Amino acid sequence: MANPLKEYAVPYQKGDVIFKEGEQGSEMFVIQSGKVEIFKEINGEKVFSQVMEKGDFFGEMSLLESLPRTANAVMIEDGELIVINATIFDQMIRQNIEIAVRMLRKFSTRLRETMAKLEALSTVNGNKKTVPLEIGKDTEKEDKGEKDKEKEEEKPPVLAQFMDEETLKVYPIWKEITLIGRNDPVTGHTPDVDLTDLDTVRSVSRRHAKLIYNNGMFYLVEEPGTLNGTFVNNKKIQSGIQAPVKSGMIVGFGMIRLKFVEAAAFTGAKKVKK
């Protein structure tokens, strides 16, 4: 059977740098042929090296989390890589849920391998050093209120806000990368902008979209797997593509519509460029 992703295959030569640590990226890669070395560099020395072969995938963290690359990737043999952006990934998951299951299994394997490496590193001269993980310690509960108070005091200035014009509820934006979605009671994860109470029909995905602030500009990016669409002035944006948003625009997450307002519009402050 022909590979349905063959059209996205890109040839690479030995020595080609696929990406470098710290770079922004929006694609993941599946090795069709050849080998790729994934590694980090500390003080100019190569560490945590791993060689990946046909069928392996890498780069998914930048695709799923919109975060900079956490390692370097270099071809060590001529070969082909299937390059998958957020739109292609979204189509893959919708058409074949088995792909998501296979990725979860791979993540589980990587986690076990990482834990094994950490355990090996904790052994010095044959004596195993362990650091207990005191989960649920009572002192954590005692300190929680104080820590929350400290975090509140350390919050940076508000960059912008979303506002529901019906209820007048405001969702302030503090961070350069802000996750928008609904609370997940299974994992306990709560997004930066939690629309759970507003979204009574659950049209908003758990991880629906991200608002990115970069060089004085705001961009909305739909997360892979979002089901009911993300909109700017009632126009649906493409998954994984940064759509610019400006003060006064109406943004939509599923059936929810919010007005986007930059800080300068409600504080009188000038837009600060990085």
pLDDT for 131 equals: 44
Alpha-carbon span 221 to 207, nearest angstrom: 11
Predicted local confidence at residue 133, as pLDDT: 41
Q: What is the pLDDT of residue 140?
A: 45
pTM of the model: 0.52
pLDDT averaged over 10-residue windows placed end to end, the chain, 274 residues: 71 96 89 93 84 87 82 95 87 70 70 72 54 42 53 74 95 95 76 95 92 95 88 93 96 97 74 46
CB atoms within 10 A of CB 198: 18
β-bridge partners, 83: 29
Distance between CA 245 and CA 252 in Å, rounded? 12
Query: In this structure, what is the dihedral angle of CA atoms 135, 139, 144, 146, given to the nearest 10 degrees?
Result: -150
User: For residue 121, what are its two tokens?
Assistant: 């590193």
Q: Which residues lie across from 75 on neighbouring strands? A: 36
Angle at the Cα of 131 from the Cα atoms of 130 and 136, rounded to 5 degrees: 135
The per-residue pLDDT for 203 is 94
What is the structure's pLDDT at 21?
Answer: 92
Instruction: For the beta carbon of residue 191, count every other beta carbon within 10 angstroms.
Output: 22
Q: Residue 249: how many CB atoms within 10 A of its CB?
A: 18
| Domains in the chain: ranges and CATH | 6-122 (2.60.120.10), 155-267 (2.60.200.20)
Are the beta carbons of 47 and 2 closer than 8 angstroms?
no
CA distance 163 to 178: 15
Report the relative pairing of strands 160-163 and 193-194 from DSSP bridges: unpaired
Q: Which amino acid is at 270?
A: K
CA distance from start to end of the chain:
51
Q: Which amino acid is at 188?
A: G
Q: Are 29 and 84 in contact (CB under 8 A)?
A: yes
